[in-house]
């Protein structure tokens, strides 16, 4: 009798685990990304971003109506820019319930304050207090912001944009900068556009396993 109860208990446990596993798998694979273009962002670039997100992460992607950049995010310390951290807060507060991750896209320059490991503004302060960037994403989180201002180069702009977008979404999913593979899309740009050009378009095996995304070679 006890053995029969034990067998049924084990069977029930396996069934519960199986259902839970399928649920987790489905919840990962059915995320929806909302692309929020700002200031007449080019349609060709939007289409390329949508395709790269769908291809790499297998997420659903919807494109939201174009909007003007929020005026309270504007700053003019070194040059006219928009603060990426404020834009992330804007995206997060305006995220529809049907959207899991918000991605803002702009052609305008964006910046943030770069800090060291102790949380202090990196030195020299005059350089890093308002630091121009390619993109920024919460880690983990539900919002990322990318600008083409520093990515523009004939023949390379769209490829660079796709790489930065998928990199920042990787941060949203909890991924840190990758130290396993220099060809991984999560490699640290290290303040250089050359690093982005050298990086591959996909997650390495290590990062793929962390976010449960099938590697392109599989």
**More confident: 5 or 168:** 168
| Interatomic CA distance for residues 150 and 157, integer angstroms | 9
Contact 162, 49 (CB under 8 A): yes
CB atoms within 10 A of CB 199: 22
| Interatomic CA distance for residues 159 and 196, integer angstroms | 9
Contact 38, 105 (CB under 8 A): yes
| Interatomic CA distance for residues 148 and 125, integer angstroms | 25
**Residue linked to tokens 């990426």:** 84
Residue 21: inside a domain: no
Per-residue confidence (pLDDT) for residue 213, from 0 to 100: 74
| Interatomic CA distance for residues 139 and 178, integer angstroms | 13
Given a cut of 90, whether residue 201 has pLDDT beyond it is yes
Residue 127: inside a domain: yes
Give tens-digit pLDDT for 42-82.
Answer: 999 999 999 999 999 999 999 999 999 999 999 999 899 99
Residue 171: inside a domain: yes
Given a cut of 60, whether residue 109 has pLDDT beyond it is yes
Q: Average pLDDT of 92-98? A: 96
**Residue linked to tokens 């390619």:** 134
Q: What is the pTM of this model?
A: 0.84
Residue 10: inside a domain: no
Residue 132: inside a domain: yes
**More confident: 38 or 15:** 38
What residues are paired with 60 via a beta bridge?
A: 32
Provide the 3-class DSSP secondary structure of residue 20.
helix
- The number of folded domains in the chain is 1
Does the CA dihedral 175-186-191-150 come out positive or negative?
A: negative
Range of the structural domain that residue 62 is part of: 28-177
Residue 208: inside a domain: no
Q: Where residue 51 sits, what CATH number does that domain have? A: 3.40.390.10
What residues are paired with 186 via a beta bridge?
A: none
Residue 151: inside a domain: yes
Residue 134: inside a domain: yes
């Amino acid at each position: 009798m006890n053995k029969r109860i034990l067998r049924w208990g084990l069977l029930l446990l396996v069934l519960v685990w199986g259902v839970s596993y399928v649920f987790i798998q489905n919840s990962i694979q059915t995320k929806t990304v909302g692309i929020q273009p700002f200031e007449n962002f080019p349609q060709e670039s939007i289409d390329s971003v949508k395709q790269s997100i769908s291809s790499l992460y297998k997420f659903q992607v919807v494109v939201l109506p174009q909007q003007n950049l929020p005026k309270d995010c504007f700053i003019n310390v070194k040059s006219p820019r928009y603060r990426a951290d404020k834009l992330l807060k804007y995206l997060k507060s305006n995220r529809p319930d049907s959207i899991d991750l918000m991605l803002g896209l702009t052609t305008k320059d964006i910046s943030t304050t770069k800090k060291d490991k102790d949380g202090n503004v990196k030195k020299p302060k005059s350089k890093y207090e308002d630091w121009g960037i390619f993109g920024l994403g919460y880690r983990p989180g539900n919002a990322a912001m990318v600008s083409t201002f520093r990515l523009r180069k004939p023949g390379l702009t769209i490829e660079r944009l796709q790489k930065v977008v998928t990199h920042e979404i990787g941060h949203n999913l909890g991924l840190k900068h990758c130290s396993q593979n220099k060809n991984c899309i999560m490699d640290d740009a290290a303040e250089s556009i050359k690093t982005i050009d050298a990086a591959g378009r996909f997650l390495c095996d290590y990062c793929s396993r962390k976010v449960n995304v099938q590697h392109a070679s599989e």
